[in-house]
Amino acid sequence: EVQLVESGGGLVQPGRSLRLSCTASGFTFGDYAMSWVRQAPGKGLEWVGFIRSKAYGGTTEYAASVKGRFTISRDDSKSIAYLQMNSLKTEDTAVYYCTRGQGGGYFDYWGQGTLVTVSS
């Protein structure tokens, strides 16, 4: 059974940093791209970024709203994807979901999400 479990969320002050983790199980983690998607309270879904599998270079892409502040990485030996968030802003407050990506550009499995609250 495919499982994605996010951790690391919490309350953080504006300008500070936070790192989220996504621990995967039930599939060969290294074979898949992994994406992060967020949802602000009461709002819709917003794609944050993704990391390709090593077979496709392990490179990353980001939404314009987080580019230069957020970094996605992966440790295939541990089946974990990370989202390093720096220079956090109040508008980054959201539930952050880890998702498994498919080649057609869709997300077939989602974690339960972790809440990040940016507030002073």
Residue tagged 């992060």 (tokens) = 36
- Residue 31 phi/psi, 5-degree rounding, is -85, -5
Q: How far apart are CB 62 and another protein at their closest, in Å?
A: 8
Answer yes or no: are the C-beta atoms of 18 and 38 closer than 8 Å: no
Q: Which stretch binds another protein (CB under 8 A): 20-28, 74-82, 83-91, 100-108?
A: 100-108
The two beta strands, 114-118 and 18-25, are unpaired
57 touches another protein (CB under 8 A): no
The count of residues interacting with another protein (CB under 8 A) is 23
Q: Which stretch binds another protein (CB under 8 A): 10-18, 20-28, 37-45, 70-78?
A: 37-45
